[in-house]
Amino acid sequence: MTAPTPARKPARPFFSSGPCAKPPGYSPEKLATECLGRSHRAKIGKTRLQYCIDLMREVLGLPDTHRIGIVPGSDTGAFEMAMWTMLGARGVTALAWESFGEGWVTDAVKQLKLEPKVHRADYGQLPDLSKVDFDDDVLFTWNGTTSGVRVPDGEWIPDYRQGLTFADATSAVFAYDIPWDKIDVATFSWQKVLGGEGGHGVLILGPRAVERLETYTPDWPLPKVFRLVSKGKLAEGVFKGETINTPSMLAVEDAIFALEWAKSVGGLEGLKARCTANADALGKIVAERDWLSHLAEDKGIRSKTSVCLSVEGADADFIKAMTGALEKQGAAYDIAGYRDAPAGLRIWCGATVDTADIEALGPWLDWAYAQTKAA
């Protein structure tokens, strides 16, 4: 038996967890283009890069104690830049409860030849945060994009610690309150909650991270795109719009559009409210269906952005067929779970998604589930 085809589709069926839906009302024609075709070192280029940095600081509520700069390589490039330039000064503890956290463990062990203490948990769960040794440098993801599990808050991080905290916050910034006094290093990319473009990372450094950079030189060689220190001092230009290498000014203008949109919906509080409304709407859909459940059973650690769902009796082939049917209908794009995660759905609930589109998705999930079971 098949379910009836729903009458209404999501107006914007873009539910990918990265790159994510563009902001409502977006079109390329709305981007400022005066800096395109000009040098990023020219006054107009540096002015726009600095404006983008200033907007990020404003919307995030980032204190003056922390620097923020645009770096190469999306979130991965930013986080590896931090690892390569600052790790090795003391012990390392890494937390891994999904694939990207495991990636940082692999970097530390196989590339940097370090011997980190590793706290792991299965998909859908969180390691015991009370066992983390903050005499070490600590690597963790604030919001696990591939498991739908986040840290509940920053209370588990002590105010006074010997090691540095390194937060991969790419699916967390602009969606949660980040206690910046607990964070020495944070990274993200524009392609998540802002709905920007990939390829560029953002690096945030607290004062203790700057001190580490200026007093410690790692044993391994650093590629040019990782170098944050010149003559023993932080390369301050990186945090003033003087990028290490050539950025895409089109991507910068795209990020500026998204940040100005963020301000128009109430800044950080407005973005958080949109994420919460979307996650709540999807939670209602899940609660009303006995064949659908959250991979993260504990609501206190459940993501409000990358929401991962389990489908009763589904294997990878079932999910592929189910999501393929939705894409063919133009009802939902890119909602299959991450390739390394348990077979299931992953639906982005970040701020650039409209709640009405999440609500319209429910009947389509019913339709696709019934179609696939009947096949």
pLDDT tens track for 315-332: 999 999 999 999 999 999
Which pLDDT belongs to residue 4? 85
CA–CA separation, 140 vs 270, rounded Å? Answer: 26
Closest to 73 in 3D by CA, of 250, 227, 199: 199
Q: What tokens appear for 39 in the block?
A: 């040098």
Which pLDDT belongs to residue 340? 87
Closest to 40 in 3D by CA, of 253, 258, 260, 261: 253
Cα→Cα distances 324→5, 125, 341, Å: 15, 28, 18
The per-residue DSSP string of 292-340 comes to EEESS--GGGB-SSEEEEEETT--HHHHHHHHHHHHHTTS-BS-BPPTT
Sign of CA dihedral 128, 130, 131, 136: positive
For the chain, the domains span 28-262, 267-374
Q: Express each pLDDT in 153-176 by its tens digit.
A: 999 999 999 999 999 999 999 999
> How would you classify the pairing of strands 92-96 and 137-141?
parallel
Which pLDDT belongs to residue 362? 98
**3-state secondary structure (DSSP) of residue 95:** strand
Q: Do domains 28-262 and 267-374 have the same CATH topology?
A: no
pTM for the complete prediction?
0.97
For residue 117, what are the contacts with CB-CB under 8 A and spacing of at least 6? 91, 92, 93, 94, 133, 136
CATH number assigned to the domain covering 267-374: 3.90.1150.10
**Phi and psi at residue 320, to the nearest 5°:** -60, -45
Which pLDDT belongs to residue 2? 67
Looking at CATH, the fold of the domain delimited by 28-262 is given as Aspartate Aminotransferase; domain 2 (3.40.640)
Closest to 184 in 3D by CA, of 144, 140, 242: 140
| pLDDT less than 70: residues of the chain | 1-2
Q: Which runs of E-coded beta strand occur in the chain? A: 67-72, 92-96, 117-120, 137-141, 143-144, 149-150, 165-168, 185-189, 200-205, 229-230, 233-234, 292-294, 306-311, 345-348
CA–CA separation, 237 vs 301, rounded Å? Answer: 37
Cα→Cα distances 341→102, 111, 124, 300, Å: 12, 24, 10, 21
The helices-and-strands tally (H runs, E runs) of the chain is: 8, 14
Q: What tokens appear for 102 in the block?
A: 């495991």
